[in-house]
Amino acid sequence: MFPACRLNLWIAVCVCSLIQNVFPVSDLLAEKPRPGLELFENKIRPVLIEHCYECHSAATTEFKGGLRVDSRDAIRSGGESGAAVVPHKVSESLLLDALKHESFEMPPGKKLPDDVIADFVKWVELGAPDSRDKPPTLEEAASLSWKAIFEKRRKWWSLQPLKNVKPPLPEKNQWSHRPIDRFLFTGMQKAGLQPAPGAKPRTLARRLAFVLTGLPPDPEQVRKYVADAARDSEAAYEKLIEKLLASPHFGERFARHWMDVVRYTDTYGYEWDNPAKGSWEYRDYLIRAFNQDIGYDQLVREQIAGDLLKQPRIDEDSGFHESMIGPMFYHMGEHRHGDSLNFNGIHQEMINNKVDAFSKAFLANTVACARCHDHKLDAISQRDYYALAAVFMTPRWTARVIDAPGKNKAKIAKLKQLRSEIHRALKQRWQEQAAHFTDELSKAMSEKESKRRSSDWRAALGLTSVDGKKTPKLKLGDIAYPAQRLLSLSKQSELATTWQQLLTEWKTASETHQRQNQKRFQVLSSFEKPQLPPGWQSEGAGMHHGYVANGTPLISLEGKNVIQHLLPRGYHTHAISSKLPGAIRPPSERDIPGKIVSLELAGGEWSGFIRVPDNAFQTENVIFLNRTQPRWQTFADRPLANGVQRLTFEIATSDLNPNFPPRTGKARAGSKVLPPADPGFQKRSWFSVTKIISHEALGTPADELKRFESLYQMSTPQNSDEVCQHIGIWFSAAVQRWSEDRASLEDVKLVNWLREKQLLENRIDKNAHLAKLVSEYRRVEQQLPFAHTANSMDERGLSPVNYPLNIRGSVDEPGPMVSRDFLEVFAGQHNVKQSPGSGRRELAEFLISPQHPLTARVYVNRVWQWIFGNGLVRTPNDFGHLGAQPTHPELLDYLAREFIADGWSTKRLIRRMILSRAFRQSGQVTEAAKRLDADNRLWHHYPTRRLEAEAIRDTLLMVSGQLDRRLYGPPIDPPRSKADPAKRLFNGPLDGNGRRSIYLRMSIMDPPKFLVGFNLPDLKLPTGKRDVTNVPNQALILMNDPFVKAQSQEWAAKLLKQQQKSVAPRIKQMFLEAYGREPDQSELNRWTGLVQELGGTMDPRSLLANQSLWNHVAHALFNTKEFIYYR
């Protein structure tokens, strides 16, 4: 072991030495975040308007207490008692005392909720930022109309059409003639600045690697590039660019950028942090899309309306319906569990999440700020917010199958073929057996007959006890009821009378039940044809291949039986395999005839019925089916409340239930409870539906007893032999009709009864041919993969909805209904309002039209930020008045137009940027540049950039040799100090199995702590730009975190295998792997000296072989600034 204090002191000295005069201070400073103003606009101003303006603004002629709160200066000046708000000083801000009702009472009477008061405290702590430069006049308050404000605001720069700009031709331009550089050089010339010299090849190699892949360059790659650049720098640079753009890790890098924007999460947060179904499928979708350079216009289409595209994008290589995955975008971020019928405001929160994410991601506008009132700064009305809410509320928020259509086609066809062969073999076998039913039954009734077959018949007909149990007393609807009544008579003379009694009893009940059923129930479908009632929709291969005629066999997938049973006519998602997904989605309850709808359902293995009020799909009103035989399930209308406009329901297998698994303990089927550790995907699940009816009053159809009709059509028996003959003929005729594919539902019941009572042979070991067929069926079925599903959108069969405008944003004060539409500022330019559906497809097409002023601008700005560190607009999520204005508006428009002309290609856009001399500049900053443009808004040098949290972790893995470069797959739990199974927070491997950070589980409740310690964004919110932080805790993480220490050990072990012959070559190799460069002589001397000092009296060979020593050296390198920065 080595003295820790001496080593830490030495590391500190090395760090200071390495960064001296290398990392300009201005480049390390993060742009000041602006959360305070957004907090003010979203949470503070609306409360002031609602609760304070009546007595303390220009709207009144007499200010109570001399206090006005309708401007920044007024609220800070305060009234008769002193300053209402003192920035950063909570204890001196009298407004906070008043809100808490500690001295004064504002508002008078009922105190505001604690969370609202907490918002005010936070606002003051942030400095009480306030955009209200001056108070409104009485005239303004009284007469200024929204129309006047709107007309002024619609002239804002970002709402104007893209300009057709040509690159300027600056004088004395010896720098570069590339378009980007000409724009930038012109700006520098006007400011009296010059661009920085070009960066060295090693610097460029490291920069390109991190910018394009988020990983450090391979040392051999660096060596090759430097050698190539010495011969032809331009050709070598272009070659390196193409190699990195073609890297599969490019997709991972840019997918993670976009995941910030769309608030990517693997869970839904709040107390139980339920899994977000298909989140990682969306992540993998993004990786594939960026790697394949799918046009951004197509990605916009897919994320907004991928379920509606007439020509969806199907990736046959990966086997995915890519377009269907896109709408998972809506279902990221925080979502409350429960629903608004039980907890007011849930669906309103969920729609706010979607409006906010959509408007920031694609428009860089804060539409969610208009939830409570017209936007205070931008051309966005409150009606705009609720019009968009109606667009997004119209579709059903539910799970969809994301496999390519026809996937597994060959396996399913093979299973159908094998089922048919098994069916044929069973027909032959059972026909042979049925021909002997009468004789067998007669023998069974003979007192001399005691064979097992006879015993089976007597037990089946309820004539003898089974397993010592009391002989059952059967009822009218039981199949063996007539036989039990007739064959248990002690006197033959009573047969005729008993037969007539049975006939009368049956006929009376049957006719009565038929009349009642016809009167009370309307049949919506009995599935005489493979179709659901009008407006009802199906989903999944289980439904597509699940329709069967009466008597289709359900093959046993395990055990000694050939089949489980014969299926009645209808839809059975497990008819081929219980791996196949299925869902039935009716229209909203108001669009189904009658007050009540009932379905004849069976199901198991976590299939269930879900009722969803206003798309609150995390409702806990789930009924899990736990029945092997069809039974009526009734769904009555439920009174709407709490602003709920629509109730929908669906029956789904677990993989198509958008809220499966629900929170722990809620998945119950009988005595079975889903274990917390069960991830809830790739599970067998199934349901059957055989009839659908509607009715006005509670109750379900009575059994019409039609299975006995052919029996009672026979003549009255005179003796027991004739009874046996009648019963035998009755049974054998049912088998015969089944074998000829003419079976009725009642025949299926009879044949299933015979099979269940072992009167029809169903054992594999009794028939070698059947055994071979069943074995092959099971083998093929086992190879059938589970379906891929993800939460998406489905508006098939649904009518468009309007959405109530909530007065002051309050869910308790619904106002007028607002129909589907887009922002008023774009009125007349799109067909959203005219759409027969939600309008999402029309909205997407409008956004990607070349005339739209925002979409291309916003995305080009994002990409510029990802490449250069800052955007041309430094507030990438806000192109409104609260955001920054572009430093180079002409360049932004030029790039946006070129981007569109290039087919919305991200890689072409990036190639334009990184081929520029601006990107290839060094980080050298002149004194004039520091004085005239300290924030580098003119791009006179390339900024030194700090690695994001994921890149730091991934670099540690790569340098240590532990990086697993595989792409895709389910998320991996991060390491946790304490697991919480009740919330599915499990402890994962320390190194995440070596996978890149993008594959770690992003749980809102407990995200990966290593990443949080650096700059992982808030998973609840769309993040346009991450904070760049440099706090003591991060140094402590690199010094003490078990993961970092483990990677130091792995790196040391890797180095020892390289078998360098002296210390200096090893130090050089470590620098190449960690920094992408070799050390200069002074650095080499210092690090060699450290090794000698740590080694003490060790001989050279022992020095090189001592893993503990090199572990310390590796750890020291991990703790340098240069390791987590690139220039």
Position 3 confidence tier, pLDDT thresholds 50, 70, 90: very low
Q: Which of 959, 1008, 1010 has the alpha carbon at shortest distance from 987?
A: 1008
Poorest-pLDDT segment among 305-319, 625-639, 1021-1035: 625-639
pLDDT for residue 466: 72
| Fold category of 522-701 in CATH | Jelly Rolls (2.60.120)
Contacts of 977-983 spanning 24+ positions with Cβ under 8 A:
980/1006, 981/664, 981/676, 981/677, 982/664, 982/665, 982/676, 983/271, 983/272, 983/273, 983/664
Structure token digits, residue 625: 């089916």
In tens, the pLDDT along 259-300 reads 999 999 999 988 889 999 999 999 999 999 999 999 999 999
| pLDDT of 1126 | 96
CA separation for the pair 299, 362 (Å, rounded): 11
Identify which has the larger pLDDT, 864 or 374. Answer: 864
Map residue 282 onto helix, strand or coil. Answer: helix
In this predicted structure, the answer to whether residue 68 has a pLDDT above a threshold of 90 is no
What percentage of the chain has pLDDT greater than the value 90? Answer: 73
Supply the pLDDT for residue 1: 39
Identify the residue with better confidence: 449 or 820.
Answer: 820
pLDDT at 144 over 50: no
Q: Confidence class of residue 29 from pLDDT cuts 50, 70 and 90?
A: very low
Q: pLDDT digit string (tens) for 199-246?
A: 999 999 999 999 999 999 999 999 999 999 999 999 999 999 999 999
Structural domain boundaries of the chain?
4-29+1040-1126, 35-155, 156-189+853-934, 426-521+707-783, 522-701
pLDDT tens, residue by residue, 1078-1094: 999 999 999 999 999 99
Q: What is the rounded CA–CA span in Å between residue 662 and residue 567?
A: 30
The pLDDT value recorded for residue 998 is 98
Say yes or no to pLDDT of 56 above 90. no
19 confidence band (pLDDT: 50, 70, 90): very low
247, 436, 1081 from 902: Cα distances, Å: 21, 78, 47
Res. 852: pLDDT tops 80: yes
Contact 1125, 946 (CB under 8 A): yes
Tens digits of per-residue pLDDT, 973-1032?
999 999 999 889 999 999 999 999 999 999 999 999 999 999 999 999 999 999 988 888
Closest CA to 758 of 382, 543, 457: 457
Helix (H) or strand (E) holding 889, with range, is: helix 889-901
What average pLDDT does range 605-612 have in this prediction? 91
For the stretch 522-578, pLDDT in tens is 999 999 999 999 999 999 999 999 999 999 999 999 999 999 999 999 999 999 999
Query: In whole angstroms, what is the distance from residue 20 CA to residue 24 CA?
Result: 9
Phi, psi of 294 (to 5 degrees): -60, 135
Q: Give the tens place of pLDDT for each residue, 782-793.
A: 999 999 999 999
Distance CA 320, CA 788 (A): 8
Q: Is 945 helix (H, G, I), strand (E, B) or coil?
A: strand
Q: Residue holding tokens 């035989």?
A: 629
Q: Report whether pLDDT(89) > 80.
A: yes
As a whole number, mean pLDDT of residues 499-510 equals 96
Alpha helices (H) along 262-316: 279-291, 296-305
* Contact predicate 820/838, CB 8 Å: yes
DSSP 943: P
Residue 52 binned pLDDT confidence (cut-offs 50, 70, 90)? confident
- pLDDT in the model for residue 61: 64
Q: What average pLDDT does this structure show over 828-841?
A: 95
Q: What is the mean pLDDT of residues 53-75?
A: 79
From 546, 533, 485, 484, select the one nearest 687 (Cα to Cα).
546
Per-residue pLDDT tens digits for 179-195 = 999 999 999 999 999 99
pLDDT score for 622? 87
Pairwise CA distance, residues 824 & 384, whole Å:
6
Over residues 1054-1073, the mean pLDDT reads 93
Residue 143 has pLDDT above 70, yes or no: no
The reported pLDDT for the residue numbered 81 is 84
Residue 743 has pLDDT above 60, yes or no: yes
Which tokens hold the place of 899?
């981007």
pLDDT at 954 over 50: yes
Q: How confident is the model at residue 589 (pLDDT cuts 50, 70, 90)?
A: confident
Q: Average of pLDDT values for 689-714?
A: 95
Q: Which of 183, 185, 716 has the alpha carbon at shortest distance from 499? A: 716
Q: How far apart are CA 569 and CA 552, in angstroms?
A: 8
What is the arithmetic mean of pLDDT over 923-947? Answer: 96
Tell me whether residue 999 is exposed, middle or buried, using C-beta atoms within 10 angstroms of its C-beta: 0 to 12, 13 to 18, 19 or more.
Answer: buried
**Taking the C-alpha atoms of 585, 591, 597 and 601 in order, what is their torsion angle to the nearest 10 degrees?**
-10
